[in-house]
Chain A
Amino acid sequence: MRTIPIPHVDPLPLPGPVWLFTALLLVVFTLHLAAMNSALGGGLWALWNYLRGRHSEHPYSRRLASELAAMLPTFLAFTVTLGVAALLFVQVLFGNFLYTSSILIGVLWLAVIPLVMLAYYGFYYFSYTAEKGKASGGWVLAVSVCVLLGIAFTYVNNMTLMLRPERWLGMYRAHPNGWNLNLGDPSWLPRYLHMVNGAIALFSAILAQAGMRKMKLDAGYGRWLAQRSALVFAACTGLQFLFGMWLLLAIPREIAMDLLREPLAGAVFGLALMSVIAAMLLILLGSLSEKPGPLVHVGFAMSLLTLFLMVCLRYLLRLASLRPYANLGALSVRPQAGVIVLFLILFVGGLATVAYMLWLVARSRKPRAGVAAPS
């Protein structure tokens, strides 16, 4: 009988320290999730408000759907762009696990590419029809959102399967051609619900603080948006506790116990719980106020912090799950110091360039004397 098959670690040394790859992975994955939550959560919000806004008594819903329509393609663009970076860094540290699980579910994994394109073009079509005031984009939006839910399903399958090497050989022997899913793993469903519900929650927090800003221009619409999204945020956050508990119970008991016993994981978990409760209270209280105040913005910042902490916890769960098979500390390392410095310089330069372009756009929205009119 064969032992559990773990592809060997690459014979080439890591071109940078493990901590640096880990830090970069955690940061870009958090940003990727923020963008993904905006695309998926925003898509669901847009769809619901599009359907609701078809009736004339809900003009705010119609307006919100139309505003979201213009932003959804950009959200998806940044989901993909940031996802590429996360995929890059996760391959450096866990390539032998990720490649194997990807090959085992190869058919669905490859299908992600045309599916993302489909969703993306659907979002563009919806934004185009919304801009022209046409009503035909609803079905297309619904398809795009369903496709995104399907992509999330694929990702959850792959990310749970890469943690379960003991399932690989049996799965390969059952279907060697990539027609597999990880549905036999009891943790996939709570994890899927946790991710999708989390996406709705985070985007609701984004909308709540957007609503507070809009109160300055249109008090009625801003208040409606802030209060409605704060309620959705609170409801989804409540559900997150349930899905999170379910997930903890669904992962193998020894791994869950291993994770919870670890002081770092306990601290991260505790902080995440405190920050999400703070975020919920701040956003709920802030949105109830008649005048725009800082509470919702602070609450939104807390929800982003929660997202980062949950990403860290997810990473610690991965380490705990793979502990019998992988030891990052034992990897040989030969840092490419010059290139790392060049990357960091270019990274800062790139961020500065993006900031500069956004500043140009922001400046154009506030016409000042001496600035040429747009041609």
Chain B
Amino acid sequence: MLIALVAVLHVFVSHFAVGGGFFLVVTESLARRQKDAALLDYCRRHSRFFALLTLVFGAISGVGIWFTIGLVSPEATSTLIHTFVWAWAIEWVFFFVEITAAIIYAKTWDSLPARDHLIVGWIYFVAAWMSLFVINGILTFMLTPGRWLQTHSFWDGMFNPTFLPSLLARTAVSAILAGIFGYITLPRLEGREKVARWAALWIIAGALAMPLALWWYFARIPKFSQLYLDGALTGVRHAVRGGVGFTLLALGIALVCGVWKPRWMRAPVVALLLVCGLGMIGAGEYLREFVRKPWVINQVVYANDLRAAEVGTMQSNGVSHSANFLLTDDTTNTAYGEDLFHLQCGSCHAAAGYRGMRRRVDGWDAEFAADVLQHIQMMHGTMPPYAGNEEDRKALGNYLASLNPAWKFKITDANRLEIGEMVFASRCGHCHTVNGKFRPLRGVFENQTPSQVQDMFPVLGAMSSDMPNFNAPDDQAQALAFYISHEASKPISVKPAPAEMPAGGNHSQLLGPVQFRREVR
């Protein structure tokens, strides 16, 4: 969580570093042309704030991301380095120029002639935007490597399918943030209204460009990524709503408190604008990361830092054959399961806490867990395949099952539906809904009695190669059948859409609404 927070704050400040530089030099130019001393004084104060925020927090948190990706995803980082080291070297040149220009610009208001000071300001902006230009290529490559997958050519990787739309979106975000941060140093008296209106224009211009940029961007992301956006996943749904909402709110504030009634632009409103800016960035970053799942580099490295090319070998030979760092050499040791968890799941999950596994596997026994691992890439389409052999799956299954005490229920008529819902969430809900958008089961179980539903459980594993065997105790199976029958037969206003969902990011395996093959193999 801390890492995500630092990353979001870095993106927040680094985009301000691009837009804010443009804002400063254009505003200074305007002030000098209009001989507006108050506006010029605003630029001077704003440039100090700008330097303190971008040079220190912006630059160092960027290095922080370097440190972090090396720790969390060394394989993916190494792939990026081996592909784009020269892009980073070029970006570093721009970064070097940018830092030098920022220091000179902030320090020489009283010493440099106006023309020279403006030249330094323009140099800053061009270097900062070019830095964004280069990094944008590397970031977009991770989702849409495009022709690079065949050619391994630097230029194919850099100028990939989402390069331009993402560049437009990031430039628009930079303009919005330039306007928002412009209010932090708003003059108290003289020139206040002029600056308020001027900064609002930047927010409005950026916000108006965003729909086009995002439409373009989302039209060019891979199909498996687009499917995440259909509203089936709660986090994605919230992120989309949040991103749109925060941007519209910022636009509204800019129109009302910036353009229409600038005197309303007081500290609480500015604080709200900052929250909008941060929320917008947070939502955008969350979406950017999420729609790439289960990959960290699409088709090359999975989110748990395993190379796609190595998964097959690991499934044949077992993890212990290739893993360098294991707590134990004894694969029959219970600690081995925990080892596997840290190696293959630890990038995204903690046992408890962040994306904690304890609540996700509540109700699982070791046998079911080991079986589920074989089909894990089917879960909400966001999981990589499990890269281990049968022995590894058993060891990890044992560990996952050990995270919670075994379920023991006393099922009565009063609690049957509630317990059935719990069992569904534990055994079925990772891959299915009954009436929802995600692989809905209604089509299979509509108007079936609980006993008819329960009759199907023993053959589930044989019905589809993507299904685990069902092995819940009888009382839980009864409750589950009761719940599914009840839910699938209750009247609903809208029939579940035949949502296609990605499966492990492999777009050749898209699943439609569930249509089990009834024959038993």
Contact = CB atoms under 8 A, between A and B. Distances in A.
B52 A124 contact: yes
Contacts of B223: none
B85 A88 contact: yes
B356 to A, nearest CB: 16
Contacts of B103: 74, 77
B154 A15 contact: yes
Contacts of B309: 11
A374 B110 contact: yes
Contacts of A372: 113-115
Summarize A's interface: helix, strand, loop or mixed: helix
B108 interface: yes
A125 to B, nearest CB: 10
A84 B67 contact: no
Interface in A332-371: 336, 338-340, 342-343, 346-347, 349-350, 353-354, 357-358, 360-361, 363-365, 371
A84 B110 contact: no
Interface residues of B, number: 65
Contacts of A343: 86, 89-90, 93
A84 B92 contact: yes
A81 B96 contact: yes
A15 B99 contact: no
Q: Which of B88, B109, B152 has the most CB of A within 10 A?
A: B88
Contact of A365 (B40, B79, B111): B111
Contacts of B6: 113
Interface string A190-230: 00000000000000000000000000000000000000000
Contact of B60 (A14, A78, A120): A120
A338 B342 CA distance: 41
B23 to A, nearest CB: 20
B93 A364 contact: no
Given A102-B67, A109-B67, A124-B52, A6 B324 contact: yes
Q: Which has the most chain B C-beta neighbours within 10 Å: A1, A92, A112? A: A92
Interface in B60-90: 60-61, 63-64, 66-68, 70-71, 74, 77-79, 81-83, 85-90
Contacts of B99: 77-78, 81
Interface in B311-368: 324-327, 329, 342
B113 A346 contact: no
Most buried by A among B89, B108, B109: B89
A347 B86 CA distance: 11
Interface residues of A, number: 76
B240 interface: no
A357 to B, nearest CB: 5
A332 B316 CA distance: 27
B63 A357 contact: no
A102 B89 CA distance: 22
Given A343-B93, A361-B104, A375-B114, A92 B60 contact: no
B30 to A, nearest CB: 14
Contacts of B88: 88
Given A95-B81, A113-B61, 9 more contacts: A12-B83, A13-B82, A88-B88, A89-B89, A91-B81, A113-B64, A346-B90, A357-B100, A365-B111
9 contacts: A12-B152, A91-B70, A95-B74, A342-B90, A346-B90, A353-B127, A357-B101, A372-B113, A374-B109
A-B pairs, top 5 by smallest CB distance, nearest first, are A5-B324, A99-B74, A113-B64, A12-B82, A350-B93
Interface of B: 6, 32, 40, 52, 55-57, 59-61, 63-64, 66-68, 70-71, 74, 77-79, 81-83, 85-90, 92-97, 99-101, 103-104, 108-116, 119-120, 123, 127, 152, 154-155, 307, 309, 324-327, 329, 342
